[in-house]
Amino acid sequence: MPSTALAVLDSVENFSVFSSHRFFIPAMKHLLSLGEAKINGFINPGHVSTIVGIKAYEEIRKNFGVPQIIAGFEPYDVMLAVYQLVKAMNEGDGLLLNEYTRAVRYDGNVRAQKVMDEVFDREEWEWRGLGNVPNSGGAIAKKYENSDAMKLFEDVFSDFEPKEDKKKKACRCGEVLRGLMVPNDCPLFMKACTPRDPIGPCMVSFEGTCNIWAKYGGYQV
């Protein structure tokens, strides 16, 4: 997201942005505000946290008391984060802990935050499984609309109509993402929807919950 903002500010020639950038902390707050999610804690992403800093999660800590561990992506980072998260859950401690101390600071990357605030307006955007989330969408600010693909190619986008896939109606990815069910509760999981022939987004991505569950959740793939 900061690199996109810098490219816009630098007025890169023959360059435009179809922005799908999102601010994920509003989505975290929205998820917890729904009151339905069976989520006992978060492992917060290290790469995002290097930008937003520890302070970005303080509101969640104060308002929801859910333990949060900021972690990197090396195996020992993840293992330590899991240990710390389970310990906090067992002790009923709604702590906010930075395990990724070698990269994440309290204030984050202030320069990156400034260029993002300059280039992007925060709008209410729809999220899969969460509905509309206020202040979560990174839309190109009006003063930089010369770099906004939605404006430059408005005639193209106005004619676009997404095709509905009837098979996807049975997909329960939204509930999986909200922590309301595990992947094998979905009627399509490892039947119509597999890593080789995915239907839902949770199976399409190798980082998706269903894809990971299929590979490491005790199923023969």
- Would you list the domain boundaries of the chain? 2-155, 166-216
CB 200 within 8 A of CB 173: yes
Predicted local confidence at residue 162, as pLDDT: 66
What is the gyration radius of the CA atoms in the chain, in angstroms?
19
What is the average per-residue pLDDT within 151-178? 80
Predicted local confidence at residue 13, as pLDDT: 86
Q: Does domain 2-155 have CATH number 3.40.50?
A: yes
Q: Which amino acid is at 156?
A: V
Q: What percent of the chain has pLDDT over 90?
A: 67
What is the average per-residue pLDDT within 70-77? 94
Q: What is the DSSP string of 129-198?
A: TTEEEEEEEEEEPGGGGGGBHHHHTHHHHHT--PPP-GGGGG--HHHHHTTSS-GGGSTTBTTTB-SSS-
Q: Is the pLDDT of residue 35 over 50?
A: yes
Q: Name the residue with higher pLDDT: 37 or 163.
A: 37
What is the average per-residue pLDDT within 108-118? 96
Structure tokens at 28: 């975290």
Structure tokens at 116: 């993002």
Q: What is the pTM of this model?
A: 0.83
pLDDT band (50, 70, 90) for residue 219: very low
